[in-house]
């Protein structure tokens, strides 16, 4: 078993990096806002921050257009030199007023970038003044910047602002209501399908799932957050800050999983744990598991020949964010008999999460072949780490699409950010039949007449 020492002992990667697979905190807050249908992001930033993330986050997150509120649709104060000198507060004031007047939306989220942070714009004061004049307009301020962290932190900053500025007082708990966190729009390229699948699963066991991302009725769903009995976090680290804050403010306990469950084994375990915590009748859970499993495994029979004749028990490599890496590796190793060679984690999780991730990727595997686990964000070193190995499959991002064959002689599939070579709309690998979809995608890369 080889677990490499992480490059960094703290959670700040300090040096220069080649092509990291995430954007900045502004981008994460912005992507999250765009991923909740009805939120209107208002960027208080330079004019390029929106369009930059259209290329860097939305196109990167499965070639998705910006839609009604993203990309060039996004209101933006477009700060230049004169604002750097005289401040951008006035510009923001008129931008908020005109946006509310012009744009159809439920919640307005002002997201501030590097320029206002550096010049000391008092954005909070601008918003407070606006709220005093227009108490009926829901508006929040995500006080972030490009240098405040990565996309993943930006996701937390967005919810942090929602909790502080939108969710005022305690509300009575609603029986069976759960919020789900940890799926970051666009960074987790299958976010829409994952959210929908998880929602359906939880509804099938009688719970009311509030996924927030990938759903309409943004304001209603966000306001429901305090009423939840439980928060479910589908990540070993992303969304934990949010869940802890909600625990502190609204006494909502939370439970976390290392990622979105893929295939019957992970999904059954997920449901059983949830059932136990939330007091769902075991009969309901077991009935669902048995009927879904029965179907999923009956269908898995169909890949038997292509799996065993064409490419049986191959070594594989994974390059992905921690959520995707854990779930995909476990599915391939535990349900398909693939052998994990190396797993590179690209989202720079904090130290405390790494222990759990390492455990999932070793003792969590039903195979004696444990992968080498490397935490790496630098595209050059990721590429170097893939050299001279046994893997035949490379489940990674589209950064590897064109180098996989020539350099590693491996069959490649894009499963993680960035995904410029796959359009991802509602597809996902989540849930009982998600594993089947993953098999289809992997095997279609080499399928031919047997």
Q: Is 17 a binder of other proteins (CB under 8 A)?
A: yes
What is the largest distance, in Å, between two alpha-carbon atoms of the chain?
71
Q: Is 106 a binder of other proteins (CB under 8 A)?
A: no
Which member of 4, 94, 134, 291 binds other proteins (CB under 8 A)?
A: 94
Q: Do the beta carbons of residue 340 and residue 365 sit within 8 Å? A: yes
Smallest gap from Cβ 107 to other proteins, in A, equals 15
Task: Please state, in angstroms and rounded to a whole number, the distance separating the CA atoms of residues 143 and 162.
Answer: 11
Q: Is 413 a binder of other proteins (CB under 8 A)?
A: no
Task: Please state, in angstroms and rounded to a whole number, the distance separating the CA atoms of residues 205 and 193.
Answer: 19
**Touching other proteins, residues 345-384 (CB under 8 A):** 380
Taking CB under 8 A as the binding criterion, the range among 70-78, 259-267, 328-336, 422-430 that sits at the site for other proteins is: 70-78
CA dihedral 322, 152, 8, 341 (to 10 degrees): 20
Q: Do the beta carbons of residue 89 and residue 123 sit within 8 Å? A: yes
Smallest gap from Cβ 29 to other proteins, in A, equals 11
Q: Is 11 a binder of other proteins (CB under 8 A)?
A: no
**Touching other proteins, residues 138-167 (CB under 8 A):** 145-150
Which member of 278, 386, 399, 439 binds other proteins (CB under 8 A)?
A: 399
Taking CB under 8 A as the binding criterion, the range among 50-58, 176-184, 239-247, 428-436 that sits at the site for other proteins is: 50-58
How many residues touch other proteins under the rule CB under 8 A: the total is 78
ω into 418 cis (within 30 of 0): yes
Taking CB under 8 A as the binding criterion, the range among 24-32, 237-245, 278-286, 357-365 that sits at the site for other proteins is: 24-32
Which member of 9, 10, 81, 133 binds other proteins (CB under 8 A)?
A: 81
**Residue 184 in tokens:** 């970051």
| Angle at CA of residue 289, ends 286 and 295, nearest 5° | 140
Which member of 91, 141, 188, 330 binds other proteins (CB under 8 A)?
A: 91
Taking CB under 8 A as the binding criterion, the range among 17-25, 207-215, 247-255, 365-373 that sits at the site for other proteins is: 17-25
Secondary structure E strands in 206-253: 208-210, 230-233
Which member of 6, 68, 87, 206 binds other proteins (CB under 8 A)?
A: 68
Q: By C-alpha distance, which of 232, 258, 446, 292 is closest to 362?
A: 258
Smallest gap from Cβ 221 to other proteins, in A, equals 17
Q: Is 398 a binder of other proteins (CB under 8 A)?
A: yes
Mapped onto helix, strand or coil, the DSSP state of residue 331 is: helix
Taking the CB of residue 257, how many other CB atoms lie within 10 A of it?
21
Burial class (CB in 10 A: 0-12, 13-18, 19+), 13: middle
Q: Is 56 a binder of other proteins (CB under 8 A)?
A: yes
CA dihedral 89, 92, 97, 98 (to 10 degrees): 140
- Quick one: 96 or 430, whose CB is closer to other proteins? 96
Smallest gap from Cβ 31 to other proteins, in A, equals 11
Q: Is 386 a binder of other proteins (CB under 8 A)?
A: no
């Amino acid at each position: 078993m080889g677990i490499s020492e992480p490059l960094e002992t703290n959670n700040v990667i300090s040096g220069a990096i080649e092509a990291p697979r995430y954007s900045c905190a502004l981008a994460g807050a912005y992507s999250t806002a765009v991923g909740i249908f009805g939120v209107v992001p208002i960027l208080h930033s330079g004019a390029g921050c929106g369009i930059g993330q259209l290329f860097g986050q939305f196109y990167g997150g499965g070639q998705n257009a910006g839609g009604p509120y993203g990309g060039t649709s996004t209101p933006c104060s477009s700060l230049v030199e004169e604002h750097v000198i005289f401040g951008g507060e006035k510009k923001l004031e008129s931008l908020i007023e005109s946006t509310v007047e012009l744009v159809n939306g439920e919640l307005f989220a002002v997201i501030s970038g590097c320029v206002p942070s550096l010049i000391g714009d008092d954005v909070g004061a601008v918003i407070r003044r606006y709220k005093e004049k227009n108490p009926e307009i829901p508006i929040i301020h995500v006080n972030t910047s490009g240098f405040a962290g990565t996309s993943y932190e930006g996701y937390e900053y967005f919810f942090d602002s929602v909790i502080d500025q939108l969710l005022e007082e305690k509300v009575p708990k609603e029986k069976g209501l759960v919020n789900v966190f940890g799926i970051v729009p666009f960074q987790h390229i299958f976010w829409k399908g994952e959210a929908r699948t998880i929602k359906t699963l939880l509804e099938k066991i009688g719970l009311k799932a509030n996924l927030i991302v990938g759903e309409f009725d943004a304001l209603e769903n966000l306001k429901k957050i305090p009423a939840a009995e439980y928060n479910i976090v589908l990540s070993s680290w992303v969304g934990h800050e949010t869940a802890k804050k909600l625990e502190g403010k609204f006494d909502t306990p939370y439970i976390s999983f290392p990622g979105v469950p893929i295939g019957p084994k992970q999904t059954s375990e997920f449901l059983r744990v949830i059932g136990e915590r939330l007091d769902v009748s075991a009969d309901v859970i077991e009935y669902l598991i048995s009927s879904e499993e029965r179907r999923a495994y009956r269908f898995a029979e169909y890949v038997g020949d292509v799996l065993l004749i064409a490419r049986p028990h191959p070594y594989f490599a994974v390059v992905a964010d921690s959520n995707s890496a854990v779930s995909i590796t476990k599915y391939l190793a535990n349900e398909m008999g693939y052998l994990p060679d190396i797993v590179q984690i690209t989202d720079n999780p904090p130290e405390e999460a790494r222990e759990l991730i390492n455990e999932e990727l070793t003792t969590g595997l039903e195979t004696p072949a444990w992968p080498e686990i490397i935490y790496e964000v630098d595209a050059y070193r990721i590429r170097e780490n893939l050299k001279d190995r046994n893997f035949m499959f490379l489940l990674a991002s589209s950064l590897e699409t064109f180098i996989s064959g020539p350099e590693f002689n491996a069959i490649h599939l894009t499963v993680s950010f960035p995904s410029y070579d796959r359009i991802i709309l509602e597809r996902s690998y989540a849930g009982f039949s998600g594993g089947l979809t993953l098999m289809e995608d992997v095997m279609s890369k080499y399928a031919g007449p047997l």
